[in-house]
Every structure is written in C-alpha cells, then in structure tokens.
Amino acid sequence: MKVGFFDSGIGGLSTLHQSMKVLPEVDYYFYADTDHVPYGEKSIEEIRKLVDHAVGFLVDKGCEVIVLACNTATTAAITPLRNKYKIPVIGIEPAVKPAVAHCKDKRVMVMATPVTAKEPKLKNLILKYDLENKVDVVPMPGLVRLAQNDEFSGDRLLNYIHNALADYNLADYSQLVLGCTHFNYFKDTFAKVFPNDIEMLDGNLGVSNHLRETIINTGLVKEEELVGRGSVEYYYSDRKIEDGEELEHIKALHQRLERNLKL
Ligand code: DGL
C-alpha cells in the first residue's frame, strides 16, 4: 500500500520519520516542494494551487492516502482537497489542546508560519481550548529558510530567535507548540533558549497514529496484512531523488530528527 506525504520542504520529514516507526509496513512517497518553499508567506490561492499539483502527482503514483505534513498546507488547502479526492487526506494542526491542558500556571507559545498564524483555522482552535487566555502565537517564517539551508545552529539562528522573541518573557512559558513541521529541527536550540524545562509539542505522533487507524478502519488494509518493511521514495517537487549525496543529506536529516525526538 502506498502513502503520500507532502510538505513545502524538509519539515514534513519529521512527520514521515514518526510514521515510519508507527507504520513501517507501507511504501511511502515523500514530496517536498523545494521549488516553491517557503509557503508560509504566500497567498491562500497560490498555496492551494501548489498543493493541488503535488497531491495530484502523489495520486498518480498510486498513493491511496495523503498526509499533508505541513501546517500551512493543511490550513490553506485541506478542505478543497477533501472535496476533490475520494481518498483520505490527513492534515496536521498545532497541538493547542494538549499544550493548554499541560501548562498549569504557565503560558503556551505557539510558533507557526504567518499563514497558519493569521488564518481562522488556528484562531478557532485557540478560541475553543484557550479559555483562560494563556496562548500566544508567534510567526517565525525565518526558521523555515534556515532549516532549508541546513542552518540548525550558529549565530544567525540564535539572533533570529532572540529578535523574534524579544517581546516575550520566556520564563512565563512551560509549553512550546511547534506549529510548523520545519521547527522540529530546532528543538535542541529551543531547549536552550527557554529558561524553564520547556515541553515541546508537535502533532507528528498523533498524525502517525491517525494514519494507521485510517488505513485499517477504512478497510484499505487489514491489520493482519500489515507485515514486513515498506520503502520510501523522496521527491523534490516533481523530481525523484536518486543522487547519492542528496540521499545521504536526507539520511542526516532523519538522524537529526531522531536525536531531537528525545527532547
Ligand atoms: N512545514 C510547513 C508547515 O508545517 C511550512 C513551511 C513553509 O512556510 O513553507 O507549516
């Protein structure tokens, strides 16, 4: 069985990484739209067009379930995609509910792209769960570019984070919601920047469990048929990655994500 994963770039590898643990038996097609990343500052119409193309590409490859491993694409495009395709389309959204439930007397910071931060989807989620006004949303578009450039440490990264957070008292927060899949690469840095033992939440495990349940509950595959190990193919926009050096780069990104899983 083939499952398609989509992100604007390498952020969605963090979701794929988790799904490969929860559901190792399927064949994954990972599509990163590197020709058009970042999405977080584009218009909704533009994002819809790009995501529609990428999902069409994955469906043509034979994918029977699609995971939008991108909060921005989910915000902008999940509804039209679900209207267009009969196959399940699973999205990801910032983990506001568990963060509010765990924050005790502290606050919750949600980092996201500008599109995710300003669209009604996140606002409605916060209205639903943030009954005591404990959630602050901070757009951090620069982190997407830094991740795409492999800048996971160093002065430029730290300066960007310190400037973006200059108006916030970081000691007030116990929960950090990673509302963009690219931000998983910076968990080690966030752990150092926030003075408290900050709890970082992403939706990757939830999405991966949901993916497994979806393929079983919709009858796409019977649980007993899920055996052996599947495969992964990686695509940058419409191009399959076959170059050994680039495949090594992706392997190194998986290793970074694996280390950050423990934080
Ligand atoms: N990884 C994407 C997300 O989860 C966004 C990156 C972008 O701005 O392209 O929102």
pLDDT tens digit sequence for 5-59: 999 999 999 999 999 999 999 999 999 999 999 999 999 999 999 999 999 999 9
pLDDT above 70 as % of the chain: 100
Q: Is the bond preceding residue 114 a cis peptide, omega within 30 degrees?
A: no
The answer to whether residues 114 and 194 belong to one domain is yes
State the pLDDT at residue 263.
Answer: 84
Count of Cβ atoms closer than 10 Å to residue 197 Cβ: 7
Active-site pick, 115, 180, 215, 253: 180
pLDDT of residue 262: 84
Q: What does the pLDDT look like over 243-257, one tens digit per residue? A: 999 999 999 999 999
Taking alpha carbons only, the member of 185, 126, 200, 129 closest to residue 153 is 185
Instruction: Flag whether 39 is marked binding.
Output: yes
18, 33, 145, 182, best to mutate for ligand 1 pocket (most atoms within 8 Å of CB): 182
How many structural domains compose the chain? 2
Report, in angstroms and rounded to the nearest whole number, the Rg of the chain calculated over CA atoms.
Answer: 18
Contact 257, 184 (CB under 8 A): yes
87 and 214, same structural domain?
Answer: yes
Judge if 104 and 49 occupy the same domain.
Answer: no
Residue 94 alpha carbon to ligand 1 centre in Å: 12
Question: Do 194 and 66 share a structural domain?
Answer: no
Report whether residue 39 contacts ligand 1, using a CB cutoff of 6 Å.
yes
Residues 6+ positions from 83 with CB-CB distance below 8 Å: none
Distance from Cα 115 to the centre of ligand 1, integer Å: 9
Which pLDDT value is given to residue 196?
82
Statement to judge: residues 56 and 182 lie in one domain: no
- Ligand 1: distance of its center to the CA of 74 in Å? 10
Identify the active-site residue in 20, 65, 67, 70: 70
pLDDT tens for each residue of 7-18:
999 999 999 999
| Ligand 1 pocket check for 204: Cβ under 6 Å | no
103 is catalytic: no
The verdict on 54 and 114 lying in the same domain is no
Could you tell me the two tokens for 134?
């404990």
Tell me the residue range of the domain where 107 lies. Answer: 96-201
Output the DSSP codes for 111-168: EE-HHHHHSHHHHHHHHHH-TTS-EEEEE-THHHHHHHTT--SSHHHHHHHHHHTTTS
Distance CA 116, CA 75 (A): 6
Note if 63 is an active site residue: no
* Ligand 1 contact, 8 CB (< 6 A): yes
Is residue 143 within 8 Å of residue 170, measured between CB atoms? no
In this structure, the answer to whether residues 254 and 189 fall within a common structural domain is: no
Three-state DSSP class for residue 97: helix
Minimum-distance ligand 1 atom for the alpha carbon of 11: 1
Does 44 lie in the same domain as 164? Answer: no
Do 194 and 226 sit in the same domain of this protein? no
Supply the CATH number for residue 16's domain. 3.40.50.1860
